[in-house]
Structure 1
Amino acid sequence: MRSGIMRDAAVLAYLPDPFGLERAEFFLSEAAGQSRRVAAAEVAETAVPIVTVEAARLITELRSLGVAPPPDLIDLGEALRLLRGKAKNDGGAKAADPWRMLKQTASGEPSEAATASFQKMFVSETEWPGEAERLAVAEQVLAVLRAAWHAALDELDDCGELQRFDGVERPVAQVFYGRQSAGISVDLAKIDTLISVADREKYTAYNRIAETLGVSPSGLTFRNVGPWLERTDAAHLTPHVSAANFEEYVRLAATYSTFAAQLVTLVRATRDLRALARLRGDAAGVVRPEFQIMGTVTGRILVSNPALQQMRRSYRDVLTAGPGKRLAYLDFAQFEPGILGSLAADRQFLERYNAGDIYRELAIALFNTADRRDVAKRMFLSFSYGMSPDRIVDILGGGARAETLAAFQAFVSEFPGLMRFRKAMEDALQQSGHVETALGNRRYRTSNGELRHDERRWAASQAVQGTASLIFKEAVLRLTEQLGAQVVMLPMHDALLLELPEETYDADVEVAEHAMLSALHNRCPGVSGRVVVADHF
């Protein structure tokens, strides 16, 4: 059994090189062997699965020594994120902290002090002791890590998440660990120009916000803007500032609110500048971002250091293909509405969805023009994730509220199955305390009694977005089975950026498109689906 293979995995503890002097240390313990210090090359050549903590950091250390990651690397933290099923704002980061679990596993044992000491060495909070003492400490930590891993495996099995972890999360992780090690090419010649553009954009938004508020907006973000909203044309957002998805509220309000639009520009330009600065920092023209496979409670993959997913389209062409390669951007069109219709088994909605563009239809119904398709898309997705039409229209703002609300309610009332599905997810959360997809990925309540407003909203969202992440990851696996893991460059929300050989580009794109659609059809029969293909993103 695969679970048996994982139970017999080797465990690896390592001490990152704090000074860039190529002195990182690696300690390995195989199932039937003793703990020992090993060279980086032996880590890379280990055939059995290896369990460790902070896999992305390990890959960075190995890469600095000219070594690729091992073929089957398991991050304890990824397993814990799947197990705990909590969003970051519900304490998910703390609950899934692998160091916390190691300390809990060692609590009251002789290895407790060794575990605490090793973590301090790991984060460079203390000087390393002598070589013999480091090995002695590492031996105890490896025993703790093995015990923690076995406990996590048992918990995965008990709560029905083992198949998801072993069949989806674990193999997908290998794809992106390989990409982190290989890196992504960057067009250094474009970076300074793009930084100048983003800087001007940020400066313009900064000045306009300063004029509105009468103070400098330095450090202003979505998280701390609340006290200033009453001075702006986005005052109607004040009651919602504590919402976990407040950024989405501001982006929706930006349709009519000048202040909201400028705040969105300021924050996003700041993010772009931060990412571009990180890209410029690598003189070799290669960036090696880190990938968190269970990056959100819904299972979305997050990219960090730098946060390439957050870069706006106008700045993304700084990423390039390697020699003899060409980029392909494949995007699931209207991905989540199709999933929602399938989960809700709403035949009328699926017929309309399969026949055309549901966002365009809504834009015409609300605004008498298809030009506001992007606004309609944001509104429909908010509805899909559990927000009521009344609240969506309130957040949108602008004039003609009554007419917009009536048109929105009339549109969604044509699809009663969608509302029944939302109610069914709320009932499931109330009764069982969690919502899950067709293959695990549960999200758990953190309170008792009647559902809170935010819980009613994420009940449907977890099912829809969790299913979307499952389909996306299964598409990655289908695609890499045929084209190889090396073609996958970046996950971009509902899209994949691929790096394909020029000589087989057209054929490979066709294979990739088919792999993505077959993954969708496997989980959502009755949804036609469409993948939009471009050679840029």
Structure 2
Amino acid sequence: MSTFIVALVDLEWYFIDVNNLGDFSSSFVFDKEDILVSFQTTDLIREISSREAVLPIIIDLESLEKQVAQEGKDLRNYSEWKVLKRLKYHKIIDPSFKITRENIKDFLQNIFNFYKFLIEKDSTETARFENIERKINAIIHKVQKAGISVNLEIAEKRCKELEKIIYVIKNELQLKHLIFAPDNIKAQIKYIKERNYPIIKSPFYTFRIRKRGDEVCRLFYELIRNQRDLDSLLFMLSQWGGKKHTHPTYLGFGTITSRIILREPSLQNLRKSNRDIIVPDKGMKLLYIDYAQFEAGILASLSKDAALINLYKSDIYIDIATKVLGDKNERSDAKIIFYRYMYGDRSLPKEAILYFQQFDKLQAYEAEVKNELLKEKIIGTENGNFRKLYEDETGWALSHKVQATASYIYKSALIRVADEVKSAEFLIPMHDGTVYQIPIKDNGTVALSIKNIYKEEFQKICPDIEPIFTVKDSFQ
């Protein structure tokens, strides 16, 4: 088994063997047991697919750096990941370095130095990478190569509908609210700051949590959601039109909490009304399984709060909806309140603050997590996935602890299903759930096997909770 650093420069692929840095070539030859390290994973998978070669293990440098850097958006000094910027940031290459045909070998050697630096930076993260992330890479890259079946006729129809919806929303923001560039991120942030709203996670998420009581926030939220769907559908039609498959870019460690994300198209973010564009392959049917109250259950277990654990059995979000919002049917908004609390949002209404204060052990656990972050300057799980402290801001500590734990449970379940339930084909990760396709003729044994694995992996970390699931034969 060999490990190669791989890069596409001027439309030509170049390889260098990490065990013999003098072995530099442009010949596309490797064994299925080999490891390819690249910052151009999507292009590499596409190239391998065109040659009908077996897919080897591929390590994505962007995901690897996000894992070991342990930096949230507050610490990152880049908006878009670029390999040259990262090499210069880590002082691996000179700030004036530019790629030319004459220095491609030096460029690949420096990428190797970057890879070596990342692998050796933190033993806990390296162990997690070997035990979890590399296996996840194998799962996600396999489906990225094979693609996901889509109904292009529905996609084309939805594009026309979405264009009309977006036009109406923009008109209202421009003519009624005098926001003349509503799709500009600066205009969105300007509105948030003018209202003295704290930005929670992102402008989009801030609009989401404010849409109930602010009409402009609701319009921004609808604009962004519909634009995201339109962008995804247009990408399918333009990039892969006629092939009836879409090949998203999968990023195994896509966020600081280790969530798997999909890009171009972002199928995870499709509204439920547009998810019917995802269809199974011939002879297969869709299976969607997800954890109910995933993070809420994890928080209840980690805090060992008996009252919260007991509420999970009925529904924590419905309890919040009833006691905070006064309407048990407002479960979706109650879920947002829960996430705002977990993320340390200090602008929660008084009723919500009082609600969470009733859980004594939860309050004690939150204080414990924040104190740990202040003392250690870093917070994570026993299985890695740490995040560094920034300017003594501890509000996000509880959220990171819970979401990093959720990611570990979820990824462990994905790996076991891939190993033990061969007839289930992984398609789309949804953080707390997964879209699989399984044989039409299955009589329920596959779904039961997957459910049992998800349950066992959850209870390995959260033994005080009997997890609840939703299982559907549709992504909608």
TM-based fold match above 0.5: yes
Q: Which has the larger radius of gyration?
A: 1
Q: Give 5+ residue unaligned stretches, structure 2.
A: none
- 1:12 aligned onto 2:10: no
Q: 1:99 to 1:174 in 2, by over 3 A?
A: farther
Name 1:274's counterpart in structure 2: 231
- In the TM superposition, 1:32-51 aligns within 5 A as 34-37=22-25, 39-40=27-28, 42-43=29-30, 45-51=31-37
SS in 2 for 1:224: helix
Q: Give the distance between the partners of 2:423 and 2:197, measured in 1 at CA.
A: 42
Name 1:380's counterpart in structure 2: 338
Instruction: Give the deviation of 1:419 after TM superposition.
Output: 1.3
Please give the per-residue CA displacement for 1:188-223, whole angstroms capped at 9, x wherever unaligned.
Answer: 1111221122222212222222232235345344x5
Q: Contact conserved, 1:327 with 1:499, CA < 8 A, in 2?
A: yes
Name 2:262's counterpart in structure 1: 303
Instruction: Give the deviation of 1:225 after TM superposition.
Output: 2.3
Matched to 2:47, the amino acid is E
Identity %: 22
1:468 to 403, 406, 409: 406
- 1:144 aligned onto 2:110: yes
SS in 1 for 2:386: strand
- 1:170 aligned onto 2:134: yes
| Structure 1 outlier segments of 4+, above 6 Å | none
Q: 1:505 to 1:263 in 2, by over 3 A?
A: farther
Q: Give the distance between the partners of 2:305 and 2:235, measured in 1 at CA.
A: 46
Q: Contact conserved, 1:331 with 1:532, CA < 8 A, in 2?
A: yes
Matched to 2:364, the amino acid is R
- 1:248 aligned onto 2:211: no
Name 1:154's counterpart in structure 2: 120
Of 243-252 and 525-534, deviating more is: 243-252
1:527 to 465, 470, 474: 465
Instruction: Give the deviation of 1:14 after TM superposition.
Output: 2.6
Q: Give the distance between the partners of 1:226 and 1:73, measured in 2 at CA.
A: 38
Instruction: Give the deviation of 1:92 after TM superposition.
Output: 6.1
Q: Give the distance between the partners of 1:165 and 1:229, measured in 2 at CA.
A: 38
Q: Give the distance between the partners of 2:183 and 2:413, measured in 1 at CA.
A: 39
Matched to 1:270, the amino acid is Q
Name 1:438's counterpart in structure 2: 382
Q: 1:107 to 1:191 in 2, by over 3 A?
A: closer
Q: Give the distance between the partners of 1:10 and 1:229, measured in 2 at CA.
A: 48
SS in 2 for 1:382: helix
- In the TM superposition, 1:345-360 aligns within 5 A as 345-353=304-312, 355-360=313-318
Matched to 2:166, the amino acid is K
1:261 to 215, 218, 229: 218
Q: 1:445 to 1:33 in 2, by over 3 A?
A: closer
Please give the per-residue CA displacement for 1:37-77, whole angstroms capped at 9, x wherever unaligned.
Answer: 3543x23x24233333332332123224443431x222233
Name 2:70's counterpart in structure 1: 85
Name 2:348's counterpart in structure 1: 392
Q: Give the distance between the partners of 1:348 and 1:418, measured in 2 at CA.
A: 9
Q: 1:229 to 1:296 in 2, by over 3 A?
A: closer
Q: Contact conserved, 2:162 with 2:226, CA < 8 A, in 1?
A: yes
Q: Give the distance between the partners of 1:91 and 1:329, measured in 2 at CA.
A: 35
* TM-score normalised to structure 1 length: 0.81
Instruction: Give the deviation of 1:470 after TM superposition.
Output: 1.0
Please give the per-residue CA displacement for 1:381-431, whole angstroms capped at 9, x wherever unaligned.
Answer: 21122224xx122xxxxxxxxxxx34x344323311111111111111111
Please give the per-residue CA displacement for 1:132-161, whole angstroms capped at 9, x wherever unaligned.
Answer: x5xxx444344333333333222132xx21
Matched to 2:334, the amino acid is A
Please give the per-residue CA displacement for 1:227-279, whole angstroms capped at 9, x wherever unaligned.
Answer: 4469xxxx6xx223555434323212211322221221111111111111011
- In the TM superposition, 1:67-82 aligns within 5 A as 67-70=53-56, 72-82=57-67
Name 2:173's counterpart in structure 1: 209
- 1:429 aligned onto 2:373: yes
Name 2:299's counterpart in structure 1: 340
Structure with the higher helix share, 1 or 2 = 1
Instruction: Give the deviation of 1:369 after TM superposition.
Output: 2.2
Please give the per-residue CA displacement for 1:64-108, whole angstroms capped at 9, x wherever unaligned.
Answer: 4443431x2222332221111112342165897644454557547
Name 2:427's counterpart in structure 1: 489
Instruction: Give the deviation of 1:305 after TM superposition.
Output: 1.1
1:184 to 129, 133, 148: 148
Q: 1:432 to 1:185 in 2, by over 3 A?
A: same
Aligned residues, how many?
472
Name 2:283's counterpart in structure 1: 324
Q: Give the distance between the partners of 1:146 and 1:439, measured in 2 at CA.
A: 26
SS in 2 for 1:225: helix
Q: Give the distance between the partners of 1:95 and 1:188, measured in 2 at CA.
A: 30
Q: Give 5+ residue unaligned stretches, structure 1.
A: 1-7, 19-23, 122-128, 394-404
Matched to 1:145, the amino acid is I
Q: 1:364 to 1:182 in 2, by over 3 A?
A: same
